[in-house]
Amino acid sequence: MAGEGESVKIGAPFLAGATVKATVISHGRHDKVKIFKMRRRKHYQKHQGHRQNYTELRIDAIAA
């Protein structure tokens, strides 16, 4: 979706000729999520951790 006021254009699924300018601010990793699985009375326990990677962007301009 791009535009302003009465001149709004909506793409399905995208707008032809529309461009977005963005700047990469940082790359990083989120906090650790701890995963614990257990089956009662079966002597089964599993510990696992996960950290998701992410890229932080700043949108500078949207041109249609």
Note the pLDDT tens digit of each residue in 24-40. 999 999 999 999 999 99
Q: How confident is the model at residue 47 (pLDDT cuts 50, 70, 90)?
A: very high
Q: Rounded to an integer, what distance in angstroms lies between the CA atom of residue 47 and that of residue 50?
A: 11
Is residue 9 domain-resident? no
Is residue 13 domain-resident? no
Of 12, 6, 20, nearest to 62 (Cα)?
Answer: 20
Total domains in the chain come to 1
Is residue 29 domain-resident? yes
Tokens encoding 55: 């890229």
0.95 exceeded by the pTM? no
Which range marks the domain in which residue 45 is found? 19-63
Mean of the per-residue pLDDT values for the chain?
94
Q: Quick one: DSSP state of residue 58? A: E
Tokens encoding 29: 């990793």
Question: How far is Cα of residue 22 from the mean position of the Cα atoms in its chain?
Answer: 14
Looking at residue 43, its pLDDT comes to: 97
Is residue 7 domain-resident? no
